Amino acid sequence: MAFLTLNRIKLQENFYYLKKNFEENDISWGVVSKMLCGNRSFLKELIDLGVTEIHDSRISNLAKVKEIASSIQTVYIKPVSKRNIPKMVKYADVSLNSELNTIRWISEEAKKQSKNHKIIIMVETGDLREGVVGDLIVDFYEQIFELPNIEIIGLGTNLNCLNGVMPSSDKLIQLSLYKQIIELKFNKKIPWVSAGTSVTIPLLKTHQLPKGINHFRVGETLYFGVDLFENNIIPGMHGDVFELNAEIIEMQEKSLLSSGTLAANPQGEVMEIDSSLYGRTSFRAILDIGLLDIDPRYLIPKDDKFEILGASSDMLILNLGRNPHEYKVGDLVKFNLKYMGALGIMNSSYVDKVIIN
- Give the residues across from 95 on adjacent strands: 76, 119
CB-based contacts of 96, cutoff 8 Å, min separation 6: 75, 76, 77, 78, 79, 120, 122, 130, 156
In single-letter form, the type of residue at position 297 comes to: R
Beta strands at 132-133 and 117-124: parallel, antiparallel or unpaired: parallel
Phi, psi of 111 (to 5 degrees): -65, -40
Handedness of CA 302, 305, 310, 312 (dihedral sign): negative
From the list 19, 20, 34, 111, the catalytic residue is 34
Q: How many CB atoms lie within 10 A of CB 282?
A: 18
The four Cα atoms 162, 163, 166, 170 give a dihedral, to 10 degrees, of -100
Stated as kind and residue range, the H or E segment containing 192 is strand 192-194
In whole angstroms, give the CA distance from residue 282 to residue 256.
6
In whole angstroms, give the CA distance from residue 289 to residue 307.
15
> Known catalytic residue: 328?
no
Among the listed residues 122, 87, 123, the one whose alpha carbon sits nearest the alpha carbon of residue 105: 87
Q: What angle do CA 152, 150, 88 make, to 5 degrees?
A: 100
Q: How many residues does the chain have?
A: 357
In whole angstroms, give the CA distance from residue 83 to residue 94.
17
Count of alpha carbons within 13 Å of 55, Cβ hemisphere only? 17
Phi, psi of 274 (to 5 degrees): -105, 105
Among all residues, which ones are annotated catalytic?
A: 34
